[in-house]
Structure 1
Amino acid sequence: MLTACAIATAIAWGAMSVPARAAVPESDQPIKIVMMGYSGDNIIMYIYGKIIEKLGYRIEYTPADYLGQFAGIETGDLDIGSPGWDTTAKAALKAAFDTGKVLNMGDMGIPVQEDWWYPLYVKDVCPGLPDWKALLKPDCVKALSVAETAPKARFLSGPIEWGGHDAERIEAMGLPFDVIHAGSDGALTAEIVASIKRKQPIIAWTWEPFWVPAQYPGEFVKWPDYEDACYDDPKWGMNPDKAFDCGRPKGKMWKTAWAGGETIWPKAYDVWRKMQLDTKTMGELVYKSDVEGVPTEQVAEQWIEQNEAVWKPWVQ
């Protein structure tokens, strides 16, 4: 029969053999989360940030350019990246992951596409759409021309820091267009909606998931299908001397993080890996912000309050 002393010793050794569970947060260092400036991405980042704040982490929301963020993540100046889309950040994401200093944290669960888009009534002045060759016709070019670009047509693009290779595509495919960059996603959207209300012909950059193509009848221009060689090898495609003579890639929205942060905040990184949203949810959240005028931070807070059953498994 064990003595009281022996029992106490056995209990003590048993306790020592069980690994201690790491306290959360593991560090009081703030986690620097990228805020890119587009309402949809900012809502995602606020949802993540506010959920891990509930675990005790300190957060710094840090503005950064969409493509420029990857250099900051590489050096550890930024910790959690705003999701990179295959459509415009495919090459930048690959380069960042190849360094080993930027982690691929999985996709967000939302398929994406973004490209040249037009409201359906534009087909009246550009018959042949969605085939891209309709954009070469003089009457179509004239209808899409504005004072800034005449006699060429205008393609209304997103903010210049979004990338997208629009100018390269125009040159490679011989399109009589000039690119005009909107100053922000809000300005881009406002110009599209204003044009639709006036029934003014317009070709502009939009994307899915997003409320504009969901709310207004329209189509994406149909280009030659994307292949990696289109961007990498000028000999690919219709123009043997120029790359980018095709549509943009479609794909997913990828989560990124500074590799060095995994050992500092392992639980916060685990939450980021688990976090998933869907197309319908994302469209509804962006609509609340862009159309109903609810601040993005408040949109995120409301979603967290109403969807505990969705996000609770991410923190377990």
Structure 2
Amino acid sequence: MRCFFQAAMVTMGMAAALPVSAEDSADPIRLALNEWSTQQVITQITGRLLQEIGRDVELVTAGYYPQMSALETGELTATVEIWTDNVPEGFSNQVDSGALKIVSSIGVTGQVGWWYPASFEATCPGLPDYKALKGCLDQLVSEDTYPKPRFVEYPADWGNTFNAERFAALGFDFAAVRAGSEGALVAEMKAAHKSGDPLLIMMYSPHVVYSLTDFKLLELPAYEPDCETEAAWGVNPDATFDCGFAPSSIYKVAWPGMKEKWPEAYALLQQINIPLDQYLEIARKTDVEGIAQEEVVDSWLAENTATWKAWVAAARGA
């Protein structure tokens, strides 16, 4: 999930089903391909549907953070899975200034937080309340973090989660160990699920790992925006970030000029919506069953024909 920008490009080969409208440019629409499977599959679905209305589509390998500058300049046209809990600094300013355009939600809401295996509750009564965890921290001490309890943090290139501020505000003294990748996070969770060993880890949901493990979300104080800026707010009157994490909206984001240059394609992009059950099914097929992404895309299109044809009709009408 989320890394660097490369100028690698794949031109989609499916023949266009409909002619380009008089309003839309004949220039290719360039969609960003990021590092994780759901994003890649949804991007390919989007590309195939844009071809259905006659657009030329190119898929461009792009890192999660660096793609923002390419979207500002129009080097990229759109990206389909931006999580608001994990965006580059300045993203809100880019949106507010009109440098980037939020198109619409993909139909899923995310949640990040601190997760633990259900087996931890047997030796740490009171979980999932975070206050109960304070009496069980010795169980999280590892050889490489002694004498501090171990906390597995996001990879460094996923940005600032403000966990250090949360540790201080909520009275924890963890040794944060950075995972090297999303795969490393998943491996930690699978290993703890299998062994029954205690673990506290930063992770996001929805994710297919929760269908393979019994991890639960630690209950931190409820999030409020003031928690991040007003020390007087919340359980610790002397610190900010004394709360959990905001729910994450998951958006499609576009170069601001897309709506004017390709109005019909933009209208179609607005329509595309992948419900949670379909999102998780895509992840299960690709990440658990190992089904090729092209096959997953074909299956989705075949199983949801009436849905996407309605999107196409709505875009044509717009």
Question: TM-score range, shorter-chain basis?
Answer: 0.7 to 0.9
Structure 1 position 172 matched with structure 2 position 180: no
**1:135-174 paired onto structure 2 within 5 Å:** 135-137=133-135, 140-163=136-159, 164-174=161-171
| Contact kept in structure 1, 2:102 and 2:254, CA below 8 Å | yes
Supply the distance in 1 between the matched residues of 2:268 and 2:107 (Cα, whole angstroms).
14
C-alpha displacement of 1:276: 0.7
Supply the distance in 2 between the matched residues of 1:71 and 1:134 (Cα, whole angstroms).
44
The residue number in structure 1 matching 2:283 is 286
| Contact kept in structure 2, 1:172 and 1:239, CA below 8 Å | yes
| Contact kept in structure 2, 1:25 and 1:57, CA below 8 Å | no
| Contact kept in structure 1, 2:83 and 2:110, CA below 8 Å | yes
Q: Percent identity?
A: 34
Cα shift readout 1:265-304 (whole Å, capped 9, x = no counterpart) = 2222111100011111111110111111124344223212
Supply the distance in 1 between the matched residues of 2:151 and 2:296 (Cα, whole angstroms).
31
**1:199-278 paired onto structure 2 within 5 Å:** 199-278=196-275
Query: Quick one: which amino acid aligns to residue 143 of structure 1?
Result: Q
RMSD, aligned CA: 2.6
Asked which structure has the greater CA Rg, the reply is 1
The residue number in structure 2 matching 1:9 is none
Supply the distance in 2 between the matched residues of 1:273 and 1:194 (Cα, whole angstroms).
40
C-alpha displacement of 1:261: 1.7
The residue number in structure 1 matching 2:6 is none
Q: 1:74/1:53 Cα in 2 relative to 1: closer, same or farther (>3 Å)?
A: same
TM, length-normalised to structure 2? 0.82
Give structure 2 stretches of 5+ with no counterpart. Answer: 1-18, 314-318
Supply the distance in 1 between the matched residues of 2:130 and 2:151 (Cα, whole angstroms).
13
**1:1-316 paired onto structure 2 within 5 Å:** 23=21, 26-89=24-87, 93-137=91-135, 140-163=136-159, 164-316=161-313
Q: 1:50/1:124 Cα in 2 relative to 1: closer, same or farther (>3 Å)?
A: same
C-alpha displacement of 1:306: 2.8
Supply the distance in 2 between the matched residues of 1:45 and 1:162 (Cα, whole angstroms).
21
C-alpha displacement of 1:246: 0.9
Match of 2:164, SS?
Answer: helix
Query: Quick one: which amino acid aligns to residue 130 of structure 2?
Result: W
Q: 1:234/1:128 Cα in 2 relative to 1: closer, same or farther (>3 Å)?
A: same
| Contact kept in structure 2, 1:25 and 1:55, CA below 8 Å | no
Q: 1:98/1:159 Cα in 2 relative to 1: closer, same or farther (>3 Å)?
A: same
Supply the distance in 1 between the matched residues of 2:285 and 2:236 (Cα, whole angstroms).
43
| Contact kept in structure 1, 2:112 and 2:248, CA below 8 Å | no
Higher helix share: 1
Cα shift readout 1:65-123 (whole Å, capped 9, x = no counterpart) = 43443333223232212322344449855333201121121212222212111121011
Match of 1:105, SS?
Answer: strand
Query: Quick one: which amino acid aligns to residue 245 of structure 1?
Result: D
Query: Quick one: which amino acid aligns to residue 160 of structure 1?
Result: A
Query: Quick one: which amino acid aligns to residue 31 of structure 2?
Result: I
Match of 1:193, SS?
Answer: helix
Supply the distance in 2 between the matched residues of 1:70 and 1:304 (Cα, whole angstroms).
29
Cα shift readout 1:143-163 (whole Å, capped 9, x = no counterpart) = 223333222222223333333
Query: Quick one: which amino acid aligns to residue 152 of structure 1?
Result: K
Supply the distance in 1 between the matched residues of 2:122 and 2:77 (Cα, whole angstroms).
49
C-alpha displacement of 1:308: 1.4
Supply the distance in 2 between the matched residues of 1:168 and 1:72 (Cα, whole angstroms).
32
Give structure 1 stretches of 5+ with no counterpart. Answer: 1-20
Q: 1:45/1:179 Cα in 2 relative to 1: closer, same or farther (>3 Å)?
A: farther
Match of 2:64, SS?
Answer: coil
C-alpha displacement of 1:202: 1.4
Supply the distance in 2 between the matched residues of 1:24 and 1:285 (Cα, whole angstroms).
35
Supply the distance in 2 between the matched residues of 1:286 and 1:25 (Cα, whole angstroms).
36
Deviates more, 1:251-260 or 1:143-152: 143-152
The residue number in structure 2 matching 1:5 is none
Cα shift readout 1:221-268 (whole Å, capped 9, x = no counterpart) = 111111111123344333445432211001432221111122222222
Supply the distance in 2 between the matched residues of 1:232 and 1:69 (Cα, whole angstroms).
28
